[in-house]
Amino acid sequence: MPGPDASVVWAPEARTAPGPGGGTTLEVLRALESGPRGLTEAEAEARLTHHGENVFAGRRPASWPRRFARSLRDPFTAVLLGLGLVSAAVAAWGTACVIAALVTVSGVLRATGEHRADRSAAALRDLVATTATVRRRATASAPPTARELPVDQLVPGDVVLLAPGDLVPADLRLLRATGLSVHEAALTGESAPAARNAQDPCLQGGSVVSGTGSGVVVATGRDTVLSGALPTPRHRSAPGPFHRSVNGIAWTLIRFMLLVAPLVVIAGALLRGRGLETLPFAVAVAVGLTPEMLPVIVTTALARGAALLARDREVIVRRLPALHDLGAVDTLCVDKTGTLTQDRPVVARALDADGHDDPDVLRWAAVNALWTVHLAELPVPDALDEAVLDAAEADAPGYEAEYEGVDALPCGPGRRLSTAVVRRPGDPRFALARTHTLVVKGAPEDVLDRCALAPAERERLVHRAADLAADGLRVLAVARAERPACEGPYTPADEHGLTFAGFVALSDAPAPTAAEALAELARRGVAVKVLTGDHPGTAARICRDLGLHPGAVLTADRLDALGDAELVRVARRTTVFARCSPEHKARVVEALRAGGRTTGFLGDGVNDLAALHAADVGICPRGGVDVAREAADVVLASKDLTALERAIVVGRRSTANIGSYLRITLSSNVGNVIAMLVAGLALPFLPMLPAQVLTQNLFFDAAQLALAFDDPGREAAARPAVLRPRALLRFVAGFGALNAAADLATFAVLALTAGEGPFHAGWFTENLLTQAAVMLLLRSGAGHAPGPLRFAVAGLGVAGLLLPVSPVGAALGMAPLSPLCYGLVGVVLALYGAALTVARRGWFGPR
Ligand SMILES: Nc1ncnc2c1ncn2[C@@H]1O[C@H](COP(=O)(O)OP(=O)(O)OP(=O)(O)O)[C@@H](O)[C@H]1O
């Protein structure tokens, strides 16, 4: 039997298939002027200057002009531009110019906002920047040391060490590999991980699923295969809740606008015998409907929320829309270990098959832990192994010297046991003549399945494990087998016919803030589901201790028996899912989403990757493995539910402000449009000239930017916040009708008391003042409006009163109003304000 390094090969002469750095490994190293000991710091620095940073081409932030150009592709802007072209075609230059101004202002604001948001997001991303373990030397003669380095600092020739959960940071040629398997879905679309051996190429973008290895960097940055193959990083294909809502609203409005413009022209022609001269007015009416500031408000509100969360560095939002989606989350899936518990397990008992304390069981568990940690070269020992080793140091001293390791089969995604193959120390020349001992520890069901046991005895032991688990203990079964020493590496097929040794039970105390955070999440309408790899009994007990009613626990084997449709129903009412593999976690998340739940998933391991991708919002603690952090939309400073709950609140508040904007702008705009359509047909002249409509629109838009800075009040964070197109349209229909009534009353009053010029002025004033009132009364917040909002509302009012009597007003075709008209408009406004207050109470309830 070969020694511990049986599967480790460094074969410099071996030839490989073409790939990064063709030729033998030795040739590659020579060409790169490097070696297995890595570069010196000075060499690396010089290469960094020469090759530039190792930044993935698809991740470079877009430039400002590109962002501006992209903002023109937004559906609203496209419609505005279309309307501008129609105006220019009929030589309505005033309308065309104002539309051009609107498009430019909204595009500049949006591009600038996004640019700034992206810059600060990039700075935040740096806080969670992925690092690689690189082997470098201080000087040519110094010994190599492994250290963590931000991935962008890697250069060709660097020697990188790989471990489970690492992202392959650049294109590599592998020098060593121990049971290394790499997932390269981003490159190959292949969902199963592929085994990688020494000399193989290993491409940037892959993620290490299991095993360890080292490789020399052959290409970085733009030169990697991934940069050449994929211009943009892979992301979820289905739109998230945010895009679904915004798209729904946008398309309803666009359909309405496209209907309104021709309707105005046709109605004008049929009822008033007007010709194409109504077209600019029709265009202005359609423009009046457009919430063209929506992208700007969205970016500002979300960027502000994200900045707020990042201030104390507790939560980092990697994709702005994810903040909205976080506020929309109504179901949060978490694991148990490290989230509900502290992940500091301590051995509580070691028992034999009859339930008597037995230090021998601990000793075997420690032999297993010591040699799996050692031989599998795990970057950090698993917490369970560490606990076993700590306990054995005190209670079973001297176990380290009794055996030496031969091979190890560690735990991995979906594998709930570990095996160490050991032998008595001695002269390795006689190794073949002697025996090897397989020492296995792991989940009781999995270990007992591999033991030679009568069914009744197996059943008895399963129950004993369940009893321990019901006390909230984590339970590991320990077993072993003596085998004649053999050649070749051991495989899971060797794990059979074992002799059961006993159980090690470990306690893991609940996380101190978990109970409070769970209660707070429940109060805020978030259903928490626990998806754990652990025993159902342990999970249920921890949940109960934390005040989370576990109900009937669904174990993975029962989950497997359910069809997709059935799982949708069962997942909704189940709180704890136990013995989950990575696939089970992803399947549960998908079932919850299919059942209409907006689902967040908190996970930090390689095991969690599929579920992080499947969720509406993937959440990972900063200490999670690289691949999990890269897959996550939101990164937490620690695996802390309290910080997550705070982030949900901020997400909801941002959404509430976006909702305020949509409610206010749409109900006011729809009211205006209805009134203008009716008045346009009833009056011998156009109720407002196109330039007047567009000017008031410009003022209203500018003022509404302040809504991104509103305080939406406590109510806004009480329930999951989603922009629901239907509810919004109901609101807009009701409040739009009220607004139209106020406008029509103003028309009636002005038509009876004023000529065309004062009529326009009267309506302009009334319009801006009603809009100011709507901003104050229809916002989400109930308390005092914050400074920016008060300032914007006051500005709108002042513009409404002063502009018509100023030279600008005259240039726009307005003439001053008589005091009587002011008085009458004032009465209409007072009545509107009162009606709005009553209607608001009806909609929002008393506040
Ligand atoms: N180092 C280990 N040695 C032996 N068995 C292990 C080891 N680590 C985990 N296991 C077994 O695998 C099971 C699943 O582990 P996994 O890491 O998937 O989930 P977990 O840590 O128990 O729970 P959670 O999913 O809530 O984090 C454990 O309950 C345990 O039985």
Strand partners, 177: 213
User: 20 vs 766, which has greater pLDDT?
Assistant: 766
DSSP label at 48? H
Instruction: Residue 693: name the closest of 127, 283, 246 by CA.
Output: 283
In short, whether 184's Cβ falls inside 6 Å of ligand 1 is no
346-392 pLDDT, tens digit per residue, is: 999 999 999 999 999 999 999 999 998 888 766 566 889 999 999 99
Question: What is the Rg, in whole angstroms, of the alpha carbon atoms belonging to the chain?
Answer: 34
In short, whether 624's Cβ falls inside 6 Å of ligand 1 is no
ipTM tops 0.90: yes
Of 152, 171, 335, 640, the catalytic one is 335
Q: What is the pLDDT of residue 808?
A: 84
Q: What is the pLDDT of residue 841?
A: 83
In short, whether 611's Cβ falls inside 6 Å of ligand 1 is no
User: Average pLDDT of 2-19?
Assistant: 34
pLDDT surpasses 70 at 107: yes
Confidence at 631, pLDDT banded by 50, 70, 90: confident
pLDDT surpasses 90 at 446: yes
Nearest residue (by CA) to ligand 1, atom 19, is: 533
Beta strand pairing call for 331-334 and 171-183 = unpaired
In short, whether 442's Cβ falls inside 6 Å of ligand 1 is yes
**7's tokens:** 């599967």
Nearest residue (by CA) to ligand 1, atom 30, is: 443
- Cα–Cα–Cα angle for 584, 588, 589, nearest 5°? 120
Confidence at 479, pLDDT banded by 50, 70, 90: very high
In short, whether 411's Cβ falls inside 6 Å of ligand 1 is yes
* Inter-residue contact 478 to 368 (CB < 8 Å): yes
Q: Which atom of ligand 1 is nearest to the CA of 368?
A: 3
User: Average pLDDT of 110-137?
Assistant: 70
Question: Which of 74-88, 358-372, 496-510, 764-778 is predicted least confidently?
Answer: 74-88
Nearest residue (by CA) to ligand 1, atom 16, is: 533
Q: What is the pLDDT of residue 16?
A: 36
* Inter-residue contact 766 to 745 (CB < 8 Å): no
In short, whether 443's Cβ falls inside 6 Å of ligand 1 is yes
From ligand 1's centre to the CA of 326, what distance in Å? 28
Q: Which atom of ligand 1 is nearest to the CA of 443?
A: 31
Domain range annotation of the chain: 244-307+652-844, 346-507
In short, whether 416's Cβ falls inside 6 Å of ligand 1 is yes
In short, whether 336's Cβ falls inside 6 Å of ligand 1 is yes
Q: What is the pLDDT of residue 377?
A: 66
Nearest residue (by CA) to ligand 1, atom 13, is: 416
Confidence at 262, pLDDT banded by 50, 70, 90: confident
Q: What is the pLDDT of residue 124?
A: 55
> What's the Cα-to-Cα distance from 231 to each of 59, 222, 321, 521, rounded to whole Å?
8, 10, 21, 39
User: Average pLDDT of 716-739?
Assistant: 84
Residue 221 φ/ψ region, left for φ over 0, alpha for ψ in the -120 to 50 degree band, beta for the rest: left
515-566 pLDDT, tens digit per residue, is: 999 999 999 999 999 999 999 999 999 999 999 999 899 999 999 999 999 9
781-823 pLDDT, tens digit per residue, is: 667 777 888 899 999 999 988 988 888 888 888 888 888 888 8
User: Average pLDDT of 409-416?
Assistant: 83
Q: Which atom of ligand 1 is nearest to the CA of 340?
A: 26
Instruction: Residue 339: name the closest of 548, 552, 523, 130 by CA.
Output: 548
Burial of 140 (0-12, 13-18, 19+ CB in 10 A): exposed
Q: What is the pLDDT of residue 35?
A: 87
Active site annotation includes 118? no
Q: Which atom of ligand 1 is nearest to the CA of 530?
A: 26
Q: What is the pLDDT of residue 200?
A: 86
Q: What is the pLDDT of residue 525?
A: 93
In short, whether 214's Cβ falls inside 6 Å of ligand 1 is no
Q: What is the pLDDT of residue 152?
A: 85
From ligand 1's centre to the CA of 615, what distance in Å? 22
Beta strand pairing call for 554-555 and 435-442 = unpaired
In short, whether 213's Cβ falls inside 6 Å of ligand 1 is no
User: Average pLDDT of 771-787?
Assistant: 81
Q: Which atom of ligand 1 is nearest to the CA of 444?
A: 31
Q: What is the pLDDT of residue 8?
A: 30
From ligand 1's centre to the CA of 424, what distance in Å? 29
From ligand 1's centre to the CA of 450, what distance in Å? 17
From ligand 1's centre to the CA of 529, what distance in Å? 18
Q: What is the pLDDT of residue 301?
A: 85
**701's tokens:** 């838009």
303-328 pLDDT, tens digit per residue, is: 888 888 877 667 888 777 888 889 99
- Beta strands per DSSP E along 220-330: 315-317
Contacts of 747 (CB under 8 A, 6+ apart): 675, 679, 682, 683, 687, 759, 763
In short, whether 590's Cβ falls inside 6 Å of ligand 1 is no
- For ligand 1, mutation pick of 364, 390, 411 (most atoms within 8 Å of CB): 411
User: 204 vs 744, which has greater pLDDT?
Assistant: 744
In short, whether 196's Cβ falls inside 6 Å of ligand 1 is no
Q: What is the pLDDT of residue 13?
A: 35
From ligand 1's centre to the CA of 595, what distance in Å? 29
pLDDT surpasses 50 at 21: no
Q: Give the largest CA-CA distance in the chain.
A: 115
Q: Could you tell me the CATH superfamily of domain 346-507?
A: Calcium-transporting ATPase, cytoplasmic domain N (3.40.1110.10)
144-200 pLDDT, tens digit per residue, is: 888 888 888 899 999 999 888 788 888 899 988 887 888 776 555 455 677 888 888
Q: Which CATH architecture has domain 244-307+652-844?
A: Up-down Bundle (1.20)
Q: Which atom of ligand 1 is nearest to the CA of 535?
A: 29
DSSP character string of 590-622:
HHHHHTT--EEEE--SGGGHHHHHHSSEEEEET
% pLDDT > 90, the chain = 30
User: Average pLDDT of 65-88?
Assistant: 77
Nearest residue (by CA) to ligand 1, atom 28, is: 534
From ligand 1's centre to the CA of 416, what distance in Å? 6
pTM: 0.76
Q: What is the Cα–Cα distance from 322 to 632, expressed in whole angstroms?
A: 10
Q: What is the pLDDT of residue 123?
A: 58
- For ligand 1, mutation pick of 448, 532, 585, 601 (most atoms within 8 Å of CB): 532
Confidence at 9, pLDDT banded by 50, 70, 90: very low
pLDDT surpasses 70 at 428: no
Report the run of H or E that residue 346 belongs to, with start and end: strand 346-351
Q: What is the pLDDT of residue 350?
A: 95
- Share the mean pLDDT of the chain: 82
In short, whether 604's Cβ falls inside 6 Å of ligand 1 is no
